[in-house]
Amino acid sequence: MVRAYGGISAEDRRAERRKRLLAAGRTAWAESGPAGVKVRGICALSGLNDRYFYEHFANREALLVAVADDVRDQLLAVMVEAGLTAEGTAFERLQAALQAFLDTVATDPDILHIVTSDTAGIPGLAERRHDVLTTIADLVVQHAPEIDDTERDPDQLRRAAMFITGGVNQLIEGWLDGVIAMTTAELAAECTRMCISVLYGPGPLAG
């Protein structure tokens, strides 16, 4: 049996060390890009030695993927929370979810630097990007039936969800690159109008 120290179990200590390594990885990535994430530097930032690094991550690439997952989960949680707690029409709820996502990216310098980094050549990160779009599409499919009572073909709904999430992603990328000059509220409203139009067609749901 592994002893607890100071009333903290071995499992909790492991979880805390992983949290510190992830926080250090996020900081290093935001400050210096993916190339700046090095095992020695992460250990120095986290105050942990390399033994504890390799307890959780096989290499620096594995840490980068874990940081990307952490940022993804944070952004998706923000979207879902905002969409579920907002009141009003489908348009207003979807706009609230998208604006919460955009506001989080715009106001958190670490996230902004991470999501705009060039991650080409880093194993696993391209797949994570695809996973984010797939997850958002799943959320659209899951919650769309709650918006009105119309019976919808699930396959058609999923195709529409994948279409709009891909398009929204392109608009967000343009915004991040400075090609699209809009406030977060303006971009959220524009994306929402397009999403609602594809999913439901013109009508009372759109605003």
Give residue 78's pLDDT: 93
- Domain at 65-200, CATH from 3.30.360, 1.20.120, 1.10.260, 1.10.357: 1.10.357
Mean pLDDT of the chain: 84
Amino acid at 130: H
Place of tokens 């599409």: 137
For residue 42, pLDDT over 90 is answered with yes
Q: Where along the chain do the CATH 1.10.10 domains lie?
A: 7-57
Domain 7-57 sits in CATH at 1.10.10
| Backbone torsions φ then ψ of 206, nearest 5 degrees | -85, 75
For residue 160, pLDDT over 60 is answered with yes
**Cα 175-133-102 angle, rounded to 5 deg:** 35
Confidence of residue 18 (pLDDT cuts 50, 70, 90): very high
Give residue 201's pLDDT: 64
Q: What is the pTM of this model?
A: 0.81
Give residue 128's pLDDT: 78
For residue 30, what are the contacts with CB-CB under 8 A and spacing of at least 6?
109, 110, 111, 113, 114
Give residue 196's pLDDT: 79
Whether 63 contacts 57, CB under 8 Å: yes
